[in-house]
Amino acid sequence: MASAGAFPLPNLQSKHRDLSFRFFFSDFLVQLGPPKPSPSKCPCRDWKFSVRTNAVYTEASRGPAVAPWKEKGNSSSDLDDISILNERIRKELGKRQGLRAGNKAVNSTEVEKYINTVKQQQQLGLQKLKGDNKDKGGIGYKVDPYTLESGDYVVHKKVGIGRFVAIKYDVSKSSSDPTEYVFIEYADGMAKLPVKQAARMLYRYNLPSETRRPRALSKLNDTSAWERRRVKGKVAVQKMVVDLMELYLHRLKQKRLSYRRTPAMAEFVSQFPYDPTQDQKQAFIDVEKDLTERETPMDRLICGDVGFGKTEVALRAIFIVVSAGKQAMVLAPTIVLAKQHFDVISERFCSYPHISIGLLCRFQKSEKEEHLSSIKNGDLDIIVGTHALLGNRVVYNNLGLLIVDEEQRFGVKQKEKIASMKTSVDVLTLSATPIPRTLYLALTGFRDASLISTPPPERVPIKTHLSAYSKEKVLSAIKFELDRGGQVFYVLPRIKDLEEVMEFLEQSFSHVAIAIAHGKQYSKQLEETMKMFSLGDIKILICTNIVENGLNIQNANTIIIQEVQQFGLAQLYQLRGRVGRADKEAYAYLFYPDKSLLSEQALERLAAIEEYRDLGQGFQLAERDMGIRGFGSIFGEQQSGDIGNVGVDLFFEMLFESLSKVDEHRVISVSYKDAQFDVNITPRLSSEYISNINNPVELINEAERAAESDIWSLMQFTEQLRRQYGKEPHSMEILLKKLYVRRMAADLGIRRIYASGKKVVMTTNMSKKVFKLMTEAMTSDIHRNSLTYTGAEIKAELLLELPDEQLLNWIFQCLAELYASLPALVKY
C-alpha cells in the first residue's frame, strides 16, 4: 500500500540527451554519463550508474507498459530470482504485522522482560491451571510403552515413524539375562529397544485429522528423510512461537490508563445474590487487578464449566469499565445466547438507570439504525449482540472492554476481527471448553487465565447415557421427564430432520406442547419459541445446536442428542450443559446410529464425553479434544501438514521446548547503512531504459530508499517498477539484486560480505544456534553444505572462483535461503 508522502515512479518519456552529471549528496554519490562515442552505437547506448542513497516506495495503479529494452524471449511473467524471493516473502511474511512498514519497534528492554516472563510462565502455567504438583516438572508427551497396542504408530526422535509390534523378553549380546524389549517395525526392518530406553525416546503418533496412518514408515538404514521431516516440524514450531510473540509484544506497545477502584463497585458486588465459590473469588480478584493495576490491555481467559459463574465475572468487569465512562461490548455466537445475555445484564444493572444497554442482532431490525447511532454517539454504554457487532457500520465512541463468549463458535474472519481488537481494548474471553488455541495460550504464558472448577454447592452431576438409537429409549426418557413436571431438549444436527422427529413425537405425546427451533427461522418466530420454552409453555423443544451456548432454563433437565457422531466434542459438552442447571438430577441421552458406521475419531469423542461426566471437567475435556482434533484449528491447514510430519505429541513437546528457549533463537538486525557488500559490480543501463525514464537518478534514489526502509518496501518497489515499465533489463536486475543482498544481510545481522578467491565471508552477530536452525531449514544442499560457522563469521567454500556477476547471483540465492527461516526467529 502507499505510504503518505512517498513519490510515484517517474513517468515514461522518450528523451535522448547527450549529458553528463555528477551529483554529491551528504551520504551518497551519483554519477551519470555516456560512454565514449562509437560508430556502431547510439551515444547514449550505455549509461553508467554508481549510486548510494535512501528510498520509500508508493504503489501506483497503472497497467504494465511496453518495454522496448526487453530482450527477445524474456517475458515479464518469467520467474526470475527476484520474483521467486518476492513470492516467498509474500507467502511467509505477508500477514506478519511486525515486518510491515510503519510498525514501530518494541523497546528491547520490554522484550527481554517479556521473554523472561514467557519462559517462567511456560514452566508454571500447566501446573497452575491443572493443579498439578510443581515438583513434577515440565510436561511429558512421551508414551508409556506398556500402554501401546499392536499396530499403534510411534515416533522415535532419532529414527522416525514405526509401527509398534510387541513387548517381549530377549537376550542381549552383552548379557545372558533376558531383558524386556519394545519391538518396532520400520520400512526396512525390525528394531528393538529396551523398555526403559523406549520410555525416554518414543512418542505416540497422532495426526490432526481423521486419518491415523502416516504416509510411510521411516527407514532404519537411511534416516535422512526423517531428519528433513523433523527439521520441517521444528521450523514450523519456531514460526508459531514467533507469530504468537509478535502478537503479544504488539500489545506491550498499547497503553491505557488503569481504572480507579470506587466505592460503587463494592455496592455492585453486594447485590450478587449467591455466595461465590473460592475459584470465583480468585477470578474476580484476577480481573480487577488486570483493570486497576495494569497499564496494558487485559487479555484474560475465564475457563469455567457451564453454570459455574463466569457471567458474574464479566458483569463486574463491565461495571468497572462503564463506571469510567467507556463502552463495553458483549459478543455472543448466537441470537439466542445474545438475547439471554441482554436479559441477564439488564436485570443485574436495573439499579443503575444511568447505564444504558442495547441489543444488536436480527431480532432488533426496527431498532438497528437507532442503536448504531447511539453506539457512535456514546449514548449506549453496554452493547450486546452477535457478529453484527463486528460489522463495518458499527462505530464505537469509546470502547474499553470486549467480552467474548464461546469464541470457538465464531468464523475465521470474525476471529481475525476479534484478534485485531485485542491489541487496543481490554478483552475477557468466557468459555467452558476453550478452543485448543485458547487453551494452549493459557498454558504457556502468552495469556492470563482464571480457572473456575468448583461447582455451586447445589449442583448435581448430569447422568450421561450413550447407546445406539432406539425409539423405545427415546420415548421412555421423555415420558420420565414429563411425568416429573420437567421439559426436554431434543437436538439433531440437521434442520431437515426436525419435522420428521416432530411428527414421531406428536404421535406419542399428542397433548404435549412441542415446538421446533433453528437458526433459519424468522427472528420473531424464533424469539417467541424460545420465550415460550423458557416460560414452560412448550414442553419439548426439537432444535439444532442453536441452543448449544449459555441457555439457562431451570426446568429443562433432560436432553436427547440424536446422530451424536455428527457433533464435535466441545459441542457435545456444551449441549449436555443445557440441563442440570438447578438442584434436580438431570439426564443426557446420546444416541448414535450404529457403531460400525462411526470413524475412530467419532468413537474417541464419545468415549471422552462419557469419561468426563463429572462437574467441572470441561477444561480437561478440552485438553482431550486437543489430542483428538489436533492442531488444525489452532494454526491453520499449512501447520497441520507440518504437524503430520512428526505427529502431535512430538510436535507439542517441541513447542514447549521452543518456548522455554525462545531467547536462544534471536536475530539482532543491523542498520541497512552498516551492511556492506564488497563485491565490485557496476551495471551499465541501456539507452532504451534510460531514455524512457524521465528522471533516472530519482528512480535509483527511490530504489535505495525502499531498500533502506525494509524488505517489504523493496519488494513493493520492484513489483511496481515492473508493472509500470515492464521487466527491467539485465543490468537493472543486477542493481536490484545488490539492494536485495544488502537488505537481507541487514535483517540477518550480517555486517559485511566480501569474497577472497574461492571463499565468501560474511561477518555477523548471529549465534551458532540461529545459524544451525537456518542452515537445517535450507532447501538447497549446495548452499547448505558450503557454509560453515566460525565465531563471528559465516564462510562459504566455493568449487572455483566465480566472476563478479555469478558471485552476486550465488550470494543472492544463498541469502534468500537463509532469509526463508527469518519468520522462525525473534527479531528484536
Distance CA 416, CA 720 (A): 29
Looking at residue 327, what is its pLDDT? 94
Smallest CA-to-CA distance from 693 within 1, 2, 6, 8 is with 8
785 beta partners: none
Helix (H, G, I), strand (E, B) or coil at 429: strand
Q: Give mean pLDDT, residues 369-396.
A: 88
Distance CA 526, CA 791 (A): 71
Distance CA 722, CA 736 (A): 12
Q: What is the DSSP letter of 28?
A: -
Q: Give mean pLDDT, residues 596-617.
A: 69
Distance CA 598, CA 747 (A): 52
Distance CA 41, CA 37 (A): 7
Q: How confident is the model at residue 741 (pLDDT cuts 50, 70, 90)?
A: very high
Q: What is the pLDDT of residues 179-215, one digit of tens each?
A: 899 999 999 999 999 998 998 889 888 664 444 577 7
Looking at residue 157, what is its pLDDT? 87
Residue 780 is placed in which grid cell? 538447497
Q: What is the DSSP letter of 12?
A: B
Please, are residues 405 and 550 in contact by the beta-carbon 8 Å criterion? yes
Looking at residue 486, what is its pLDDT? 93
Please provide the DSSP assignment of 518-566 as one string: -TTS-HHHHHHHHHHHHHTS-SEEEE-GGG-SS---TTEEEEEESSGGG
Helix (H, G, I), strand (E, B) or coil at 665: coil
Q: How confident is the model at residue 523 (pLDDT cuts 50, 70, 90)?
A: confident
Strand boundaries in 469-537, DSSP class E: 487-491, 514-517
Max mean pLDDT range (65-79, 367-381, 742-756): 742-756
Q: Is the pLDDT of residue 102 over 50?
A: no
Q: Cβ–Cβ contacts within 10 Å for residue 618, how many?
A: 26
Q: What is the pLDDT of residues 288-309, one digit of tens each?
A: 999 999 888 888 888 877 778 8
Supply the mean pLDDT for the chain: 77
Looking at residue 37, what is its pLDDT? 43
Looking at residue 57, what is its pLDDT? 31
Helix (H, G, I), strand (E, B) or coil at 353: coil
Contacts of 488 (CB under 8 A, 6+ apart): 477, 478, 481, 482, 539, 540, 541, 556, 558, 559, 560
Distance CA 206, CA 225 (A): 19
For the chain, what is the radius of gyration of the CA atoms?
Answer: 32
Q: Give mean pLDDT, residues 354-381.
A: 83
Cell 440437521 sits on residue: 494
Looking at residue 571, what is its pLDDT? 78
User: What b-and-e string marks burial along 533-545, b requiring 16 or more CB atoms within 10 Å of the CB?
Assistant: bbeeebbbbbbbb
Q: How confident is the model at residue 762 (pLDDT cuts 50, 70, 90)?
A: very high
Q: Give mean pLDDT, residues 484-496.
A: 93
Distance CA 652, CA 634 (A): 12
Q: What is the pLDDT of residues 622-675, one digit of tens each?
A: 555 554 443 433 443 344 455 667 876 787 777 767 766 777 778 888 999 999
Residue type, 515: A
Q: How confident is the model at residue 449 (pLDDT cuts 50, 70, 90)?
A: confident
Q: Give mean pLDDT, residues 587-610.
A: 78
Q: 730-747 and 696-709 helices cross at what angle (nearest 10)?
A: 20
Looking at residue 134, what is its pLDDT? 38
Residue of higher predicted confidence among 262 and 336: 262
419 membership: H or E segment, kind and range = helix 412-421
Contacts of 426 (CB under 8 A, 6+ apart): 256, 290, 291, 297, 298, 299, 317, 321, 400, 401, 402
Strand boundaries in 578-725, DSSP class E: 587-592, 676-678, 684-686
Q: What is the pLDDT of residues 409-429, one digit of tens each?
A: 777 677 777 877 777 789 998
176 membership: H or E segment, kind and range = none
Residue of higher predicted confidence among 272 and 827: 272
Distance CA 338, CA 329 (A): 11
Q: Is the pLDDT of residue 153 over 60?
A: yes
Distance CA 782, CA 777 (A): 13
Please, are residues 553 and 581 in contact by the beta-carbon 8 Å criterion? yes
